[in-house]
Structure 1
Amino acid sequence: MTPFSSGSASASPPASTAASLPASPGQQQVPSETAPAPAGSPPLHITYRTVGLDQAIVPLAPTEAERELGSIIPPYTHDAYWLDPYGMPGAGSTNTTYLVGHSWEGQPSPFNNISTLARPGDSITVATAEGLLEFRVDSVATEYKDTLRDSEIWDRVPGRLILITCYAADLWGKNIIVQASPERR
C-alpha cells in the first residue's frame, strides 16, 4: 500500500493515505500440502489502548483501477479499513491481515497517535465473529509512500497483523507500519 497521509484542518482531504499494493494479494504464497483450515474470520473491531484506538473495522477492496496503479486510497473518513483481499485473523489464517486508516492534521483521528505512541511489546485486540484475538507489536517503522508497494510487509505471513497510517511527522511522504504477531496461549 502506498503511504497513508493525513489531511489538513480545512475541508481538504487528508494527505494521501494511499497504500501501495503489491502486484497481487499474497504474491509470495507458498503451496501447502496439508488440508486447508478455516481461513480465519473477518476483523470487526480493533482496540489498541496504548495509542487510543478503539474502532469498528470496515472491509475495503481495491478497485480494478487501484490494482492497476498498485495503490489504494481509503475513503477520507476516520474509519479503520480492512483490506479484505488479503488475510483474515484467527485460526487457519493464510495471509497477513492489513488494517489501514488516515491520520489527520489539525483534527482528531483514531490513527493520529500511532506515530508517537506505538511501541514494540504493545498489545492489540481484534474482535472477530469467532471471538477476541490478542496480538503483540513486534515492530514499528516508517516507510516511504512511493516504495511501500515493494516492501516486505506484503510477504505472505499467516496470522500477522499490520496497521498502516501516515507518519505524523511527514504526512505526505511516509507511512508508519505497525507489525504484530498473535499471542500464543
Structure 2
Amino acid sequence: MPSATAVGNDAAVEASPPTRLAIEDAGIDVEVLPLLPSEEALAEQAIVPPLTEDGYWLASYGQPGRGSTNTTYLTGHSWEGSESPFNRLSTHAEVGNTITLDTEAGSLDYVVESITTHDKETLKDSDIWSIVPNRLVIISCYTEDLWGKNVIVTAAPKP
C-alpha cells in the first residue's frame, strides 16, 4: 500500500486509533470504539456494529493521521422510532461540515466532501473501499430506508 504524505492539520498527529467523532453542525458527538470484523465479514465487506449508540472504527482498515496508509472507516447504527446520533448523518449532515476526530495521538479536522446513499446489497462493490490514505468514510443506515440503504459520508483532511 502506498504511504501518504501528511496534509493539512494532520501533519503533527501520528496515525493512531480514533476515540471520538464530532460533527458539531449536525449535533453528533460520540465515543468511537474499535471493531474487528470477522474474516467472513471482511471478505463480504459486511458491516454490523454492536447495537449501541457508539461509533465504531473498523480496525482492520486505516488509522487517521500522519502516515495513514488506508481509508479510515467509522460506522454506527441509525434507529427507527428513536433518536440516535447516527440518524443525524441522514438528516443534519451537510457537505462542507467540519468533522473533528479525536485519536489517541491528538485531534484531526476533516471536511465533508460528499453524502450519498447506497443499496446495502451492493455496498461491498462500492468505490468507498478503494484505498485512499487520510480519507474518512462514515457508514450508517439511511433513515428513510433503514433496511435497504446506507448513508455514506466521505471526508478529507481540512486544509
TM (norm. structure 1) is 0.77
Is 2:74 the counterpart of 1:87?
Answer: no
Alpha-carbon distance in structure 1 between the residues aligned to 2:43 and 2:155: 28
1:39: how far off?
6.9
The Cα offsets for residues 38-72 of structure 1, whole Å up to 9 and x where unpaired, read as 97110011111122111110000111332354423
Is 2:91 the counterpart of 1:108?
Answer: no
Task: Select the residue among 118, 126, 138 that pairs with 1:151.
Answer: 126
| Larger Rg computed on CA atoms | 1
Equivalent position of 1:71 in the other structure:
46
Alpha-carbon distance in structure 2 between the residues aligned to 1:119 and 1:110: 15
Stretches of structure 1 lacking an aligned partner (at least 5 in a row):
1-28
1:170: how far off?
0.6
Is 2:147 the counterpart of 1:172?
Answer: yes
RMSD across aligned C-alpha pairs, in angstroms?
A: 1.7
2:56 aligned counterpart, secondary structure: strand
Alpha-carbon distance in structure 1 between the residues aligned to 2:97 and 2:27: 12
| Count of aligned positions | 151
Do the aligned partners of residues 68 and 183 (structure 1) sit closer, same or farther apart at CA in structure 2, a change above 3 Å counting? closer
1:72 aligned counterpart, secondary structure: coil
- Contact map agreement 1:39 1:88 (CA 8 A) in 2: no
* Bigger helix fraction: 2
TM (norm. structure 2) is 0.89
Do the aligned partners of residues 95 and 68 (structure 1) sit closer, same or farther apart at CA in structure 2, a change above 3 Å counting? closer
Stretches of structure 2 lacking an aligned partner (at least 5 in a row):
6-12
1:176: how far off?
0.4
Equivalent position of 1:135 in the other structure:
110
